[in-house]
A and B are shown apart, each in its own frame.
Chain A
Amino acid sequence: MKLELRGITKRFGALVANNNISLTVESGEIHALLGENGAGKSTLMNVLYGLYIAEEGEILLDDVVQKFAGPGDAMKAGIGMVHQHFMLVPVFTVAENVVLGHEQTTFGGRLDLTAARAKVREISDRFGFDIDPDALIEDLPVGVQQRVEIIKALSQDARVLVFDEPTAVLTPQETDELMIIMRQLAESGTSIVFITHKLREVRAVADRITVIRLGTVVGEASPTATNAELASLMVGRAVELTVHKNAPELRGTALSVKNLSVIDARNQIVVNNVSFDVAAGEVLAIAGVQGNGQTELTEALLGLQHHVTGSIDLDGKPLRGFSVRHILDSGVGFVPEDRTEDGLIADFSIAENLMLDRSSGAPFVKAGNLQLGFRAKFAAEKIREFDIRSQGSDMHAGRLSGGNQQKVVLARELSRELRLFVAAQPTRGLDVGSIEFVHTRIIETRDSGIPVIVVSTELDEVVALADRIAVMYRGEIVGIVPGNTPRATLGLMMAGEPAPATEAAL
């Protein structure tokens, strides 16, 4: 089915989220919609899906103008959506989820689950999904849950499928599998709109690319365009994806982790006998597919895990077994993996968030009293220094964009006197401009003689930042290799293969 959007304009008050956007997706085509966070991609798709009504413009399917009053109309017209956050009921089975909202019943109002199962099997077989219709959603891996979403859309005879940032929650392997599925779907005649801000994926799978910036279409590109071309279209200026950095000036071992093991709440060994050193003035990147113990390792460093054995010594002083407060006071700066959940308090102002981990003493607190004057001055200074785009230091952190939220976290952590800096997934979900800012800051921290640990699942980020790379697999460190190790080798290590002997010796 051919999809055409003509001159779509959508305003929220004074803000123009979509400005006269036109887009054509031919039948059987994968059309990538590329743009930074907040560029207006999701708004456009919500207009398409009937969640928003556009002020101007029209939607055409096979050259017929459509009027959608809600998602129900859009679904009937053959538009399906695979949301970034899955709309599935975890305690229902696959079949139950697929028919949810369109249940067919037999005599007496009983659910016709046999038909539902058959439908799931039929679609599943058609694309080689291998999904058990009776499996509970909560038992399925994220990648498979996403396939259930796809089946759900296809079961409603969707001819246009919208994927809203589908890879944000997937591991690299799952991402590759999704790409293959998208290809299959396109070959069977389904039109696909693929929303993303990851350049690599766009180039791997898209037939055509439309780049959106600040609510307007800024250009079309073919998949043969280079990363740099696409990135500069997205942010409107030439960005460097590699970080400029000089060779590290090592100043002796600062952090020494020996035989560290972590047992989680379910009594699983999630970090298994890990040992590594970090020198002052170097970046040790911890690479690996998500869920291989990196999260627990960083939490153990900060004292957030309860069952930890082994030793963590910073500048000769033990850290293991002390409270988070003590570890922070020892000079550990920490950027948590999930900034909205663990890094910020959404309903607190920027100024309040900037003092969040310094609420027990000078300079922010004197004799139990908050030093509001000092805090306001401090906040104004940091907002300038870290270029936090806001309406002032009283603005709630929850209303900032992801990139600016991360800048608040960075500003808070880097403004203390640090002896170790741990950043977990520091650029997850950020746009290209913010990524560049965060990377520069991390390297500056390293150059000031502070040992830095960066945990990342993005190989590009690991390679860009690391002086040395430790690869984790199933709770263990497979090997620690130099920062210039070829990606192919790193990829093998992330799958659990030991490092080549020559490099492991380093």
Chain B
Amino acid sequence: MSDAAAPAPAYGPGKKDGSERWTQTLRDITGGSAMISVLAVALALVVGAVLIAFTNERVQETSGYFFSRPLDMVQAVSDAVAGAYSALFQGSIYNFRANNFLTAIRPLTETLTFATPLIAAGLGVGLAFRVGMFNIGGRGQMLIAAGAAGYVAFAIELPAGIHLIVAILAGLLGGAMWGGIVGLLKARTGAHEVIVTIMLNFVALYLIQFLLRTPGALQAPGSNNPKTPAMLPTAVFPDLFGPRYNLHAGFLTVIAATIFVWWLLSRSNLGFQFRAVGQNPNAARVAGINVKNVYMYAMAISGALVGLAGINQVLGTVTTGFGAGIDAGIGFDAITVALLGRSKPWGIFAAGILFGAFKAGGFAMQAAEGVPIDIVVVVQALIVLFIAAPPLVRAMFHLPTPGATKKPKIRADTGRTTNEVVAK
């Protein structure tokens, strides 16, 4: 947009307004140290333990006569908490009660299966964070990608191998397009990406629902349900360790995606430009970086990565046909994963596995100990809370404040007023 005759954009990166403070906050939240992430998880687990104790019937019972026999309650609390967290561990990592190793390790593969889409979507959200954008549109991008990949997978017959690759590419393209629209609107009209992504979630949801009810589109032939037919076996991710485990080859695509994002952000020039725009769009513009193009590329790649989560859902996890709920809220969980992972590729990878473990272990915890699965959701929410409030975590653990001696930078807007001075 350097053409002098072009109309002035309503939005330019050079404008100093409220969004600058917003960007700074975003940067602070996403740019903290790994230590904060670890402590946030630890704190959340502690608060979760309190909640487990509170909701436990035995604890409630013993608290009635706490002053006569306090040890009963202490015993009950430790039983409840230890039981719940040990069930969580056995349900997500290693089951000690199993009689052989292959069965005992099954929870870990479950964890990885749950983690697969979370990591993919987390990478997408994290990438957008690094460019200074909030991608709340995970749901829409996943749905469009799932629709595109799913359609190729069940409706088009191709040789094995090629079919899978074409289906993946179709899904990536769908996600990239849905994310790219956001980048385009932001670059060309100045629309805020948060609003646009949220709105596009609904557009995608109703579009997919419509297609699911349209025979010949996504709806299974001869069915009245808003559900697609099963995927053709040629387009399904093969199981990694045989039919005993749910873990499928989609996990490998996610590892590849993590490596790709790492390369993109720390080794490629496009990623350099991404980070430059994310940190200081003004300086990037002065340095000749086309900020608008960067917004578009970044949102397209972000959408494609989130789309990979949708692809994994339809080609790996739910291969018997899907409905409009296929995103399973992963697009939103991905925001948490990206925050916990500090928007760094391997951080997101680790955070995705942790959240996968919560999902896998949560069910076991409910089944074995009767602890409501909502506790897991609360713990996840608490993690976000603690991450979003680094000063709180720092104060609790007496960590030093980064840049504590720095003076607050408040800029007087001089250029605006000096014309009047001169005019006097």
Contacts and interface: CB of A to CB of B under 8 A. Distances in A.
Do A and B associate with each other?
yes
A321 B1 CA distance: 9
A342 B283 CA distance: 4
Interface in A280-328: 289-292, 295, 302-309, 320-328
A336 B282 CA distance: 11
B412 interface: yes
Interface string B395-424: 000000000010100111011011111101
A436 interface: no
Contacts of B275: 348
Contact of A325 (B31, B269, B290): B290
B131 to A, nearest CB: 13
B120 to A, nearest CB: 22
B187 to A, nearest CB: 14
B268 A369 contact: yes
B279 A348 contact: yes
B18 interface: no
A148 to B, nearest CB: 12
B267 A142 contact: no
A345 interface: yes
A142 B412 contact: yes
A323 B2 contact: yes
Interface in A427-444: none
Interface stretch (A61-69, A92-100, A224-232, A354-362): A354-362
Interface in B257-297: 267-270, 272-273, 275-276, 279-280, 282-290
Contacts of B276: 345, 348, 356, 359
A14 interface: no
B261 to A, nearest CB: 14
B4 A328 contact: no
A368 B270 contact: yes
A369 B264 CA distance: 9
B374 interface: no
A141 B418 contact: yes
B418 A289 contact: yes
Determine which residue in B2, B268, B411 has the highest number of CB atoms from chain A within 10 A of its CB, and name it: B2
B288 to A, nearest CB: 4
B421 A341 contact: no
A454 interface: no
Interface stretch (A169-177, A244-252, A377-385): A169-177
Contact of A347 (B8, B279, B424): B279
B410 A359 contact: no
Interface string A332-368: 0010100001111111100010011101100011001
Contacts of A505: none
A142 B4 contact: no
A475 to B, nearest CB: 10
Contact of A334 (B269, B286, B411, B414): B286
A107 interface: no
A341 B418 contact: no
Contacts of A304: 14, 285-286
Contacts of A334: 286
A16 interface: no
A359 B287 contact: yes
Interface string A36-64: 00000010000000000000000000000
Contact of B421 (A142, A324, A359, A365): A142
A368 to B, nearest CB: 5
A341 B4 contact: no
A320 B4 contact: yes
B267 A343 contact: no
A140 interface: yes
Contacts of A374: none
B3 interface: yes
Contacts of B414: 142, 169, 290-291
A142 B413 CA distance: 8
A501 interface: no
A148 B257 CA distance: 57
A367 B8 CA distance: 34
A143 B421 contact: yes
A323 B292 CA distance: 12
B283 A344 contact: yes
Given A142-B421, A306-B8, A345-B276, A324 B2 contact: yes
Contact of A302 (B12, B268, B286, B418): B286
A370 interface: yes
Given A143-B421, A321-B3, A365 B269 contact: yes
A474 interface: yes
A506 interface: no
A127 interface: no
Contacts of A321: 2-5
Contacts of A12: 405
Contact of B268 (A143, A325, A368): A368
Interface in A214-267: 265
B282 A342 contact: yes
A85 interface: yes
Given A143-B421, A289-B422, A307-B4, A352 B272 contact: yes
Contact of A306 (B1, B279, B412): B1
Nearest to A340: B409
Contacts of A174: 421
Contacts of A368: 268-270
B286 A342 contact: yes
A325 B412 contact: no
A170 B184 CA distance: 41
B288 A324 contact: yes
Contacts of B288: 323-325, 327-329, 357, 360
A346 B279 contact: yes
A292 B8 contact: no
A345 B279 contact: yes
Given A141-B421, A302-B286, A336-B286, A322 B280 contact: no
Contact of A307 (B8, B411, B412): B8
A474 B422 contact: yes
A342 B418 CA distance: 20
Nearest to B271: A370
Interface string B9-35: 100101000000000000100010000
B415 to A, nearest CB: 6
Contacts of A42: 407
Contacts of B412: 85-86, 142, 145, 169
A193 B9 CA distance: 46
Nearest to A360: B269
Nearest to A302: B286
Nearest to B14: A304
B287 A306 contact: no
Nearest to A309: B4
B2 A141 contact: no
Contacts of A309: 4
B8 A370 contact: no
B283 A343 contact: yes
Contacts of B287: 324, 328, 356-357, 359
Contacts of A290: 414-415, 418
Contact of B422 (A291, A360, A364): A291
Nearest to A361: B269
Interface in A156-174: 169, 171, 173-174
A370 B4 contact: no
Interface string B62-73: 000000000000
25 contacts: A85-B410, A85-B411, A140-B417, A142-B414, A142-B417, A145-B412, A145-B417, A169-B412, A171-B422, A265-B8, A290-B415, A292-B422, A303-B2, A304-B14, A327-B288, A328-B288, A342-B282, A342-B286, A343-B283, A345-B279, A345-B284, A356-B276, A359-B269, A370-B269, A473-B422
Given A289-B422, A344-B280, A359-B289, 6 more contacts: A173-B421, A265-B8, A323-B290, A324-B287, A329-B288, A368-B269
9 closest A-B pairs (Cβ-Cβ)?
Answer: A291-B418, A357-B287, A325-B288, A365-B269, A323-B2, A85-B410, A308-B4, A356-B287, A324-B288
